[in-house]
């Protein structure tokens, strides 16, 4: 009898949990856009989880961010007086809301358009990808992805490029010659076309990849 009651209790709890899980996918997302307008943007930092981030050059000299958010998953976007633009993901969920399927891919994508002359760019995410196309940053670019690939094309940096990936590949091409960069590379459980260390160069390239491959090329204009 006790075993039967225990089994019934377990089934009741499981049914309640499944019901809660079924509700977790019922979020309503709304597409939104942030634009900096006439305010000057000197640097951009995006720190999110479970989001794909794509970065391109802005066509009108402003910073634009296209994204989707719900009442449970939303963003804090702030532009400081010094021109530092930050974007972070915030949640308003119960523990049961984290069980079940993720929001559709279209709602987990952030598209960032940054103006030319940007000083610094920092992108950090998890379980998705980071992509950058045809962009030049005056000082430093920092990319960090845990659980996804990082890819960039025609990326120019004035001082440094720092790329970190776990359980994902790092691929791309950097504007500049081999002699322009010093290199520090750490690769675990993957192949790399870069040496562990190379001295010289006015700019620095630091790459750290765990359980993924590294393939970075240098392109001279």
Instruction: Determine the Cα–Cα distance for residues 162 and 208; give it in Å rounded to an integer.
Output: 8
* Per-residue pLDDT, 21: 39
Confidence of residue 24 (pLDDT cuts 50, 70, 90): very low
pLDDT digits (tens, 9 = 90+) for 154-192: 999 999 999 999 999 999 999 999 999 999 999 999 999
Q: Which residues, at least 6 apart from 38, have a Cβ–Cβ distance to it below 8 Å?
A: none
pLDDT confidence of residue 18: 41
pLDDT value, residue 4? 53
Pairing state of beta strands 109-114 and 64-69?
antiparallel
Q: What is the pLDDT of residue 102?
A: 78
Strands 64-69 and 30-35: antiparallel
pLDDT band at 27 (very low <50, low <70, confident <90, very high): confident
Residue 3 binned pLDDT confidence (cut-offs 50, 70, 90): low
Per the prediction, the chain carries an average pLDDT of: 89
First and final C-alpha spacing in the chain: 80
Residue 207: its pLDDT value, please?
A: 98
Give 54-99 pLDDT, tens digit per residue.
Answer: 999 999 999 999 999 998 999 999 999 999 999 999 988 664 454 5
pTM for the complete prediction? 0.85
Q: Which residue has the higher pLDDT, 102 or 28?
A: 28
Q: What is the pLDDT of residue 26?
A: 62
């Amino acid at each position: 009898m006790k075993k039967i009651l225990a089994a019934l209790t377990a089934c009741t709890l499981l049914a309640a949990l499944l019901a809660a899980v079924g509700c977790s996918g019922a979020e309503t997302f709304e597409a939104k856009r942030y634009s900096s307008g006439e305010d000057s943007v000197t640097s951009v930092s995006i720190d999110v989880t479970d989001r794909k981030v794509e970065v391109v050059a802005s066509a009108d000299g402003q910073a634009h961010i296209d994204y989707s958010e719900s009442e449970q998953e939303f963003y804090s976007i702030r532009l400081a007086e010094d021109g530092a633009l930050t974007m972070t993901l915030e949640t308003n969920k119960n523990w049961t809301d984290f069980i079940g399927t993720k929001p559709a891919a279209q709602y987990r994508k952030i598209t960032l358009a940054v103006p030319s002359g940007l000083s610094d760019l920092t992108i950090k995410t998890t379980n998705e990808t980071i992509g950058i196309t045809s962009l030049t940053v005056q000082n430093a670019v920092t990319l960090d992805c845990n659980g996804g690939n990082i890819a960039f094309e025609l990326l120019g940096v004035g001082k440094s490029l720092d790329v970190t990936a776990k359980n994902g590949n790092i691929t791309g091409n950097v504007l500049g010659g081999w002699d322009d960069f010093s290199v520090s590379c750490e690769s675990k459980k993957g192949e790399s076309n870069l040496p562990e260390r190379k001295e010289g160069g006015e700019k620095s390239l630091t790459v750290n990849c765990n359980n993924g491959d590294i393939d970075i090329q240098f392109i001279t204009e």
